[in-house]
Amino acid sequence: MSGRRLPPEDTKLFHAAMRDVKPLPKRRVRSVPVLAAPSAAQAGNEPIVRAGRTAAPTRAAPSPSAAKPNPGIDRRTAERLRKGEIPIERRIDLHGMTQNDAHAALDRFVRQAWRDGKRMLLVITGKGSIAVGGGVLRRHVPRWLAAGEHGPRVLRIETAQARHGGGGAFYVLLRRQRDER
C-alpha cells in the first residue's frame, strides 16, 4: 500500500464488518521468481530476478480467440454451423422413444439422409430431467453418431441454437460424398 492511513470512521466500519469473519486455513504457497522492474541506474541491463512469495499458480485460461481444431471443416463453416446458419435439410424428433427405438430410428434417419445426399441434419433429443444429469438420449446420441457405421459419415456435431431446440437438439453435419473412380 502507499502508507496512507484510513480515517478512524472507516477503520471502525471495517473492523465491525470483519468481526465474524474466520480466516481461511493456511495453505502452503510455492516461492516463484518474480521479475523486478529495473531501476533507472540499471536501464539497459538484464532485469533482476528476486525470489518472492506469490499466490498459488493459476492455470492460464485459453484465449477466446483460440479456435478449437476443425479437422475437415473450415473456420467459416464451423462458425455457421455453431450459429445455426446452415439450412437444415432433414430433422428427426426422438422425444419419448426408448433407447433402442431411438437408436434404430437415428440409424435409419442418418443412413437415408446420407443416401439422399443431405448434409445438414437436426436431431431433437429433448433435454431430459435435470435432476438426473440430463436426458439419456441427449447423452447417447453424440456417441451413437460418432461410432459404428456413421463415424466416417459425420463431420461435426454441435448443440443447436435455441430457435432449433437449444440444449435438447443437435446439428449434425455430414461429410460430402465424393465420387469414387
Give the pLDDT confidence of 140-181 residue by residue, as tens digits.
899 998 888 888 889 899 999 988 888 889 999 998 887 554
Please tell me whether residues 122 and 152 are part of one structural domain: yes
Please tell me whether residues 114 and 168 are part of one structural domain: yes
Please tell me whether residues 22 and 87 are part of one structural domain: no
CA distance linking residue 14 with residue 147, whole number of Å:
60
Q: What is the pLDDT of residues 91-135, one digit of tens each?
A: 999 988 889 999 999 999 999 999 999 999 999 998 876 666 668
Q: Report the pLDDT averaged over residues 51-70.
A: 44
Q: What is the pLDDT of residue 2?
A: 59
Contact 145, 106 (CB under 8 A): yes
Please tell me whether residues 88 and 132 are part of one structural domain: yes
Please tell me whether residues 45 and 79 are part of one structural domain: no
What residue numbers bound the domain in which 19 lies?
A: 8-53
Residue 44 lies in a domain: yes
Please tell me whether residues 92 and 25 are part of one structural domain: no
Residue 179 lies in a domain: no
Please tell me whether residues 81 and 144 are part of one structural domain: yes
Number of Cβ within a 10 Å radius of residue 137? 24
Distances (CA, A) of 77 to 15, 70, 80, 145, 173: 57, 10, 5, 20, 10
Looking at residue 104, which CATH number applies to its domain? 3.30.1370.110
CA dihedral 61, 67, 69, 72 (to 10 degrees): 170
Residue 82 lies in a domain: yes
Please tell me whether residues 25 and 93 are part of one structural domain: no
Q: Tell me the whole-structure pTM to 2 decimals.
A: 0.58
Please tell me whether residues 43 and 81 are part of one structural domain: no
CA distance linking residue 29 with residue 106, whole number of Å:
53
Residue 64 lies in a domain: no
Please tell me whether residues 15 and 99 are part of one structural domain: no
Task: Give me the number of domains the chain comprises.
Answer: 2
Please give the share of the chain, as a percent, with pLDDT higher than 90.
21
CA distance linking residue 93 with residue 65, whole number of Å:
34
| Strand pairing class (154-159; 169-174) | antiparallel
Please tell me whether residues 105 and 151 are part of one structural domain: yes
User: In sequence order, which residues have a C-beta less than 8 Å from that of residue 10 and are 6 or more positions away?
Assistant: none
Q: Which has the higher per-residue pLDDT, 124 or 31?
A: 124
Residue 23 lies in a domain: yes
CA distance linking residue 161 with residue 137, whole number of Å:
18
| Res. 38: pLDDT tops 50 | no
CA distance linking residue 83 with residue 52, whole number of Å:
47
Q: What is the pLDDT of residue 126?
A: 86
Burial-class residue 113 by CB neighbours within 10 Å (0-12, 13-18, 19+): buried
Please tell me whether residues 18 and 89 are part of one structural domain: no
